[in-house]
């Protein structure tokens, strides 16, 4: 438990889940640095655990270089593929790339923790002891996509999956780790849903432009008409196939949309109960959670969303903010 110094509150951040959207957390933390905010406590879920761990392990620059490169085809060689353990991808090899920097959570200079979900009980699990990388690995085990993780919890070995299944933005964990004031970052308030199904019912119209045949002006009329008719038929068939494909959900997009919907509903419900002092909600509506190659875009979104709340954040960390913090805490009891 950390104590206030010079009358200032102990500041914690709760970094939420979001897969590739988690690159926005990098921009958030950089903006907090620029604002002079001393973050003492960090709690993360899934990619939020990974980003915050990079700071605590002193591999911030190395992590960002890895994140920038992960969108390239070559980088995916650091993952292993195969059905098993409840997912398609084994991310273990990628975590092993940073193993030499790993530390025990209890040996870190500042409080840190990750949240995961126990498959045996359905309960959230706070990972506050043991290997930092193993905690990140368990917290980020996205159901159906990444393998579940075996993890020592107390005196038992548990199968753990993504903390987003129970606590997508772990404000409660940040407070338990000693934060007086918590800044939360929720990346799923404007998730991607399948908007193409939100349309009036009725017969679909598939427009196809009239084809142009190069050199048709010098061809015999019958030949030109035959070629245009053939191309028109092919274009219509292709357009119809595309329309039929878009008329029903596909496997992976349904998985992504489902996870987005569940996380958004759950994080909103918990936000009403476990109230953060400042809640940062970057607009990620046009940010697919699988677009790992958009590191710079997502980092910029996180930075701008944080700077937009700079007045609230600066007021939060002031000595007066510490006084109001005590009053707010008493009001919640």
Annotated catalytic sites, by residue?
Answer: 46, 162
**27 near 302, Cβ under 8 Å?**
yes
Q: Indicate the SS3 state at residue 119.
A: coil
Closest by CA to 264, choosing from 292, 290, 285, is: 285
> Which parts of 275-318 fold into alpha helices (H)?
295-307, 310-317
3-state secondary structure string, 241-267?
Answer: HHHHHHCCCCHHHHHHHHHHHHHHHHH
Could you give the dihedral angle defined by the CA atoms of residues 285, 290, 295 and 297, in that order, rounded to the nearest 10 degrees?
-20
Could you give the dihedral angle defined by the CA atoms of residues 135, 137, 142 and 148, in that order, rounded to the nearest 10 degrees?
-90
Round to whole Å and give the CA distance between 162 and 158.
Answer: 13
């Amino acid at each position: 438990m950390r104590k206030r110094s010079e009358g200032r509150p102990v500041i914690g951040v709760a970094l939420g889940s979001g897969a590739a959207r988690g690159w926005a957390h990098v921009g958030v933390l950089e903006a907090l640095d620029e604002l002079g905010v001393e973050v003492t406590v960090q709690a993360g879920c899934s990619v939020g655990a990974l980003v915050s761990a990079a700071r605590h392990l002193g591999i911030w620059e190395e992590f960002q270089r890895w994140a920038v490169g992960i969108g390239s085809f070559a980088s995916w060689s650091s993952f292993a593929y195969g059905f098993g353990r409840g997912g398609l991808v084994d991310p273990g090899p990628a975590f092993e790339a940073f193993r030499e920097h790993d530390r025990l959570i209890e040996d870190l200079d500042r409080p840190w923790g990750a949240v995961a979900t126990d498959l045996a009980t359905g309960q959230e699990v706070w990972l506050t002891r043991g290997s930092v990388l193993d905690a990140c690995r368990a917290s980020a085990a996205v159901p159906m996509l990444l393998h579940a993780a075996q993890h020592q919890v107390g005196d038992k070995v548990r199968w753990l999956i993504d903390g987003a299944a129970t606590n997508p933005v772990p404000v409660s964990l940040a407070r338990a780790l000693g934060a007086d004031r918590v800044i939360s970052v929720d990346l799923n308030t404007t998730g991607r849903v399948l908007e193409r199904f939100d349309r009036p019912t009725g017969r679909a119209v598939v427009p196809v432009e009239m084809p142009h045949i190069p050199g048709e002006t010098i061809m015999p009329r019958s030949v030109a008409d035959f070629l245009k008719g053939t191309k028109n038929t092919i274009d219509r068939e292709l357009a119809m196939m595309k329309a039929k494909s878009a008329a029903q959900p596909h496997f992976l997009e349904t998985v992504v949309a489902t996870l987005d919907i569940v996380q958004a509903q759950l994080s909103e419900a918990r936000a009403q109960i476990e109230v953060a002092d400042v809640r940062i909600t970057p607009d990620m509506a046009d940010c697919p959670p699988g677009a790992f190659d958009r590191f710079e875009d997502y980092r910029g979104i996180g930075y701008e969303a944080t700077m937009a709340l700079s007045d609230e954040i600066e007021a939060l960390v002031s000595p007066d903010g510490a006084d109001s913090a005590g009053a707010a805490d008493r009001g919640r009891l």
